[in-house]
């Protein structure tokens, strides 16, 4: 027979103000299997917990009901206390008589009677609870970081510096991400390359980091602590071990009119190329589509000039298999292209560019070597219009969210433009200025007051070409007037979007994304760097638009989470998981798609469903889906619930 102890908490007056706690304890003390009942002012406090421990030891209790606040607050507290007293922690249940009773009622008599019922149902639950052991899993103490932008770089370095091996996968030929494209960074205006490239070198030299550039994650199987990852190393047609990075091949390559991705189409690159001079690794790849040799079978200049014989036209994509314990998603963002904006000419006006293109223009290593020259005729623009919220905060046509970084980088653009073109006039169209951050507001104010950037509050309705001018029609909502500016150059602060293929990656990883393709965090406030799926962590703009300081902070937080995961001998997993009674299972497989965590599988040999206990989060979706009742969840069995329901429905005699 069970010996159940019931402990009723006053929670100060939170519960005792509305519920007669003494009466609850009295009423329950005669209930079936209840061997002990008492109340106390603050059960969660040290003396309160000691009452619990003492009763367990003295009366030899086999189960515990704590009638108190929500289990999200103190379930763990009392389970640990029970464990200290030698009771299995899964024989402890919380009866929530605060959020679900005292807080929502006024009538003391009725609330007390309801509290008694709640406690009784939980006594029934405890009677049916089995003692459970936590599930222990081995951990492969190696991390995979997907994405080699600043977030991925920071996460990889932090994990590697803690002594764990890291595999960093980047799909471009070089790591560096968007940060490598930036000129100077707000609010301090330090040069992006100067602060980033040393970190890129650190990555390549770190003994704990294996770098796979020009590679993509093909698929991921397994579960937290034990992932199996396949990585496709794309054929670069260059033997990266032999190549010395001398650059002669790129210099001599005759195919030179290929639009440079790194320069965002504002410069050309060769068919064999490194994206930028400071690339890491500084070794070229061949763009097969534009290579004369691959297209016509003739040429082969690069192979001829290479002094170390590194060119290998026969190279094939290579598959690498790795075992890792944890995966960091740091895949970054994209910029909504100018060609998607109807009102701004669908990208047909050459002097309408996006913010990243302007960054390249401002960059000393960019296509204009840092001089502001407009794309159409190379003239120095004297009037430049910057448009904020191009696509952001526009639920009707584009994206409802704020892209967060544009207010700051637009202020920076306007400033840098003034630094380079002293007699030029920058205008900024804005909805409102969001400059929350250390020294951010001051930075914007300086642009307005000292650099004389004209800020116009309003949106731009149309842009069109008139001769060699770009006409910008908008509204100044502070003056209540329409504005028309004959500009020389227009820079759009285009919306920051998720990577266009983030949904595909999410599917491969079985990690969740939101409606816009950004990876979802487990909790927006309290678990901001963890994905809902165990073992996956998020860093940087893959989760939401972020600036560099935020991305770096999140990457370091992620690294802390990963190293914490690696720090123990085993991973521990809650034993509240689904189970399958194989005799009852018909093998219908309805549970497999019902599981949001990919924890259900079909055993082809036994012809029954199976649960991967490590992946199971105990949500119960499969239990509800199972038609035959073969799937039951530990300590949440149908039998327990029937008992609880009939107890709740019993005529009350209190």
Partner 1 sequence: MNKISYYPGCTLSNTAKNFDLSARESMKALGWELDELPRWNCCGTVYSLASDNLINHVAPIRLLVHTQELGRDKLTTLCSMCYHTLKMSNLMVQKDRDKLEKINFFTKDKDAEYKGRVEVLHLLEILKNDIGFANIKEKISRPLKGLKLASYYGCLLTRPKAAAIDDVEMPTIMGDLINSLGAQAVYDPCLTECCGSYHTVMDQEVVADKAERIISSAIKNGAEAIVTSCPLCFFNLDERQKNILEKTGKAYDLPILYFTQLLALGLGLGPEVCKFDLHHIDPRPLLKAKSII
Could you tell me the smallest distance in angstroms from the CB atom of residue 391 to partner 1?
12
Q: Which two tokens stand for residue 77?
A: 């507290």
Which of 26, 202, 343, 547 forms a contact with partner 1 (CB under 8 A)?
Answer: 343
Could you tell me the smallest distance in angstroms from the CB atom of residue 341 to partner 1?
8
Q: Report whether 165 contacts 566 (CB < 8 A).
A: no
Instruction: Specify the residue, 494 or 635, whose C-beta has the smaller distance to partner 1.
Output: 494
Could you tell me the smallest distance in angstroms from the CB atom of residue 337 to partner 1?
15
Q: Dihedral of the CA atoms 297, 302, 307, 309 (nearest 10)?
A: -50
The dihedral of CA 498, 499, 501, 507: what is its sign?
negative
Q: Dihedral of the CA atoms 540, 544, 546, 548 (nearest 10)?
A: 10
Could you tell me the smallest distance in angstroms from the CB atom of residue 336 to partner 1?
15
Taking CA atoms, 495 is separated from 20, 403, 516, in Å, by 57, 6, 12
Is residue 342 involved in binding partner 1 (CB under 8 A)? yes
**DSSP string over 346-402:** TT-STTEEEHHHHHHHHSTTSTTTT----TTT-PPPSEEEEEEEESTT-TTTS-SS-
Stretch that binds partner 1, among 201-209, 354-362, 460-468, 514-522 (CB under 8 A): 460-468
Sequence-distant contacts of 244-252: CB under 8 A, at least 24 apart: 244/308, 244/310, 245/274, 245/281, 245/282, 245/283, 245/284, 246/307, 247/274, 247/284, 248/305, 248/306, 248/307, 249/284, 249/301, 249/302, 249/305, 249/306, 249/311, 250/274, 250/284, 252/301, 252/302, 252/305
Instruction: Specify the residue, 346 or 642, whose C-beta has the smaller distance to partner 1.
Output: 346
Instruction: Specify the residue, 397 or 452, whose C-beta has the smaller distance to partner 1.
Output: 397
Instruction: Specify the residue, 378 or 467, whose C-beta has the smaller distance to partner 1.
Output: 467
Which of 259, 346, 603, 638 forms a contact with partner 1 (CB under 8 A)?
Answer: 346
Which of 191, 435, 471, 619 forms a contact with partner 1 (CB under 8 A)?
Answer: 471
x/- mask, partner 1, residues 30-69, rule CB under 8 A, reads ----------------------------------------
Instruction: Specify the residue, 320 or 483, whose C-beta has the smaller distance to partner 1.
Output: 483
Is residue 462 involved in binding partner 1 (CB under 8 A)? yes
Instruction: Specify the residue, 155 or 489, whose C-beta has the smaller distance to partner 1.
Output: 489
> Tokens 């904006």 map to which residue?
341
Stretch that binds partner 1, among 42-50, 258-266, 341-349, 494-502 (CB under 8 A): 341-349
Give the integer Cα–Cα distance in Å for 548 and 199.
14
Q: How far is CA 576 from the centre of its chain?
A: 26
Neighbours of 452 (CB within 10 A): 11
3-state secondary structure of 55: helix
Stretch that binds partner 1, among 37-45, 294-302, 464-472, 551-559 (CB under 8 A): 464-472
Instruction: Specify the residue, 352 or 555, whose C-beta has the smaller distance to partner 1.
Output: 352
Stretch that binds partner 1, among 26-34, 100-108, 110-118, 463-471 (CB under 8 A): 463-471
Contacts of partner 1 in 363-422 (CB under 8 A): 396-397
Per-residue burial over 469-479, b = 16 or more CB atoms within 10 Å of its CB, e = otherwise = ebbbebbeeee
Stretch that binds partner 1, among 44-52, 145-153, 161-169, 340-348 (CB under 8 A): 340-348
Instruction: Specify the residue, 340 or 420, whose C-beta has the smaller distance to partner 1.
Output: 340
Give the integer Cα–Cα distance in Å for 400 and 143.
35
Stretch that binds partner 1, among 107-115, 201-209, 265-273, 458-466 (CB under 8 A): 458-466
Could you tell me the smallest distance in angstroms from the CB atom of residue 342 to partner 1?
4
Is residue 483 involved in binding partner 1 (CB under 8 A)? no
Is residue 481 involved in binding partner 1 (CB under 8 A)? no
Is residue 476 involved in binding partner 1 (CB under 8 A)? no
User: How many Å from the N-terminal Cα to the C-terminal Cα in the chain?
Assistant: 26
Who contacts 461 (Cβ-Cβ below 8 Å, separation ≥6)? Answer: 343, 473, 474, 475
**DSSP string over 261-291:** TTTTTSSEE-SEE-SSTT-SS---EE-GGG-
Could you tell me the smallest distance in angstroms from the CB atom of residue 345 to partner 1?
9
3-state secondary structure of 643: helix
**DSSP string over 437-486:** STTHHHHHHHHHHTS--EEEES-EEEEEEETTEEEEEEEETTTTEEEEEE
Who contacts 544 (Cβ-Cβ below 8 Å, separation ≥6)? Answer: 401, 404, 518
Stretch that binds partner 1, among 164-172, 431-439, 462-470, 499-507 (CB under 8 A): 462-470
Could you tell me the smallest distance in angstroms from the CB atom of residue 276 to partner 1?
35
Instruction: Specify the residue, 136 or 397, whose C-beta has the smaller distance to partner 1.
Output: 397
3-state DSSP percent of the chain in helix, strand and coil, to 5: 30, 25, 45
Instruction: Specify the residue, 466 or 583, whose C-beta has the smaller distance to partner 1.
Output: 466
Is residue 480 involved in binding partner 1 (CB under 8 A)? no
Who contacts 643 (Cβ-Cβ below 8 Å, separation ≥6)? Answer: 124, 125, 127, 128
Could you tell me the smallest distance in angstroms from the CB atom of residue 484 to partner 1?
10
Per-residue burial over 505-518, b = 16 or more CB atoms within 10 Å of its CB, e = otherwise = bbebbbbebeeebb
Instruction: Specify the residue, 454 or 471, whose C-beta has the smaller distance to partner 1.
Output: 471
Could you tell me the smallest distance in angstroms from the CB atom of residue 303 to partner 1?
48
Q: How many residues bind partner 1 (CB under 8 A)?
A: 11
Instruction: Specify the residue, 343 or 550, whose C-beta has the smaller distance to partner 1.
Output: 343
Give the integer Cα–Cα distance in Å for 172 and 209.
17
Could you tell me the smallest distance in angstroms from the CB atom of residue 402 to partner 1?
21
Angle, helices 21-29/108-128, rounded to nearest 10 degrees: 40
Could you tell me the smallest distance in angstroms from the CB atom of residue 460 to partner 1?
11
x/- mask, partner 1, residues 118-147, rule CB under 8 A, reads ------------------------------
Could you tell me the smallest distance in angstroms from the CB atom of residue 85 to partner 1?
59
Stretch that binds partner 1, among 29-37, 305-313, 466-474, 597-605 (CB under 8 A): 466-474
Could you tell me the smallest distance in angstroms from the CB atom of residue 464 to partner 1?
4
Instruction: Specify the residue, 396 or 449, whose C-beta has the smaller distance to partner 1.
Output: 396
Per-residue burial over 268-290, b = 16 or more CB atoms within 10 Å of its CB, e = otherwise = ebbbbbbbbebbbbbbbbbbeeb
Instruction: Specify the residue, 396 or 605, whose C-beta has the smaller distance to partner 1.
Output: 396
Neighbours of 247 (CB within 10 A): 15
Instruction: Specify the residue, 70 or 339, whose C-beta has the smaller distance to partner 1.
Output: 339
Is residue 464 involved in binding partner 1 (CB under 8 A)? yes
Instruction: Specify the residue, 19 or 349, whose C-beta has the smaller distance to partner 1.
Output: 349
Could you tell me the smallest distance in angstroms from the CB atom of residue 355 to partner 1?
21
Query: Which parts of this chain interact with partner 1 (CB under 8 A)?
Result: 341-343, 346, 396-397, 462, 464, 466, 471, 473
């Amino acid at each position: 027979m069970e010996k159940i102890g019931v402990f009723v908490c006053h929670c100060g007056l939170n519960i005792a103000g509305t519920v007669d706690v003494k009466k609850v304890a009295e009423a329950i003390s005669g209930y079936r299997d209840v061997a002990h009942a008492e109340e106390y002012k603050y059960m969660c406090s040290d003396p309160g917990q000691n009452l619990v421990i003492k009763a367990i030891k003295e009366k030899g209790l086999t189960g515990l009901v704590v009638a108190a606040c929500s289990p999200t607050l103190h379930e763990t507290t009392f389970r640990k206390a029970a464990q200290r007293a030698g009771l299995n922690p899964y024989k402890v249940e919380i009866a929530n008589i605060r959020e679900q009773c005292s807080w929502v009622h006024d009538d003391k008599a009725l609330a007390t009677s309801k509290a008694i019922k709640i406690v009784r149902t939980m006594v029934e639950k405890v009677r049916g609870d089995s003692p459970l052991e936590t599930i222990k899993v081995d951990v492969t103490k190696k991390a995979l970081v997907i994405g080699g932008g600043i977030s991925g770089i920071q996460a990889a370095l932090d994990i590697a510096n803690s002594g764990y091996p890291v595999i960093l996968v980047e799909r471009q030929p070089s790591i560096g991400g968007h940060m490598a494209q930036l000129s100077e960074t707000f609010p301090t205006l330090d040069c992006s390359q100067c602060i980033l490239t040393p970190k890129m070198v650190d990555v390549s030299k770190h003994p704990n980091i294996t770098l796979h550039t020009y590679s993509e994650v093909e698929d991921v199987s397994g579960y937290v602590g034990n992932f199996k990852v396949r990585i496709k190393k794309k054929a670069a047609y260059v033997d990266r071990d032999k190549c010395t990075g001398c650059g002669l091949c790129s210099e001599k390559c005759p195919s030179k009119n290929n639009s440079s991705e790194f320069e965002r189409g504002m410069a050309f690159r060769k068919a064999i190329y490194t994206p930028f001079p400071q690339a890491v690794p500084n070794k070229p790849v061949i763009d097969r589509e534009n290579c004369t040799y691959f297209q016509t079978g003739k040429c082969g200049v690069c192979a001829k000039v290479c002094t170390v014989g590194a060119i290998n036209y026969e190279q094939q994509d290579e598959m690498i298999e790795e075992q890792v314990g944890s995966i960091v998603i740091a895949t970054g963002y994209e910029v909504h292209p100018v060609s998607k904006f109807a009102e701004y000419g669908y990208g047909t006006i050459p002097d309408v560019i996006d913010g990243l293109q302007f960054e390249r223009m401002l960059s000393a290593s960019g296509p204009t070597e840092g001089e502001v020259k407009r794309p159409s005729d190379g003239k120095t623009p004297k009037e430049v219009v910057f448009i904020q919220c191009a696509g952001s905060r526009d639920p009707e046509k584009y994206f409802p969210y704020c892209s967060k970084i544009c207010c700051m980088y637009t202020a920076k653009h306007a400033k840098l433009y003034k630094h380079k073109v002293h007699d030029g006039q920058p205008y900024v169209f804005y909805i409102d200025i969001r400059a929350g951050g250390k020294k951010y507001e001051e930075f914007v104010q300086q642009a307005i007051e000292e650099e004389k950037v004209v800020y116009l509050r309003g949106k731009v309705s149309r842009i069109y070409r008139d001769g060699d001018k770009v006409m910008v029609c908008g509204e100044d909502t502070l003056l209540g007037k329409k504005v028309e500016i004959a500009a020389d150059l227009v820079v759009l602060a285009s919306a920051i979007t998720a990577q266009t293929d983030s949904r595909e990656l999410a599917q491969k990883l079985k990690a969740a994304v939101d409606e816009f393709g950004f990876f979802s965090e487990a909790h927006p406030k309290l678990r901001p760097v963890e994905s809902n799926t165990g073992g996956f962590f998020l860093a940087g703009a893959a989760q939401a638009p972020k600036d560099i300081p935020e991305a770096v902070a999140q990457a370091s937080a992620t690294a802390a989470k990963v190293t914490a995961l690696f720090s123990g001998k085993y991973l521990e997993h809650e034993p509240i998981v689904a189970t399958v009674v194989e005799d009852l299972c018909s093998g219908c497989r309805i549970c497999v798609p019902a599981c949001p965590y990919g924890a259900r599988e079909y055993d082809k040999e036994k012809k029954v469903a199976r649960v991967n206990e490590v992946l199971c989060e105990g949500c119960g979706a499969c239990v509800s889906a199972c038609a035959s009742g073969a799937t039951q969840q530990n300590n949440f069995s149908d039998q327990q619930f029937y008992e609880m329901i009939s107890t709740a429905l019993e005529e009350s005699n209190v």
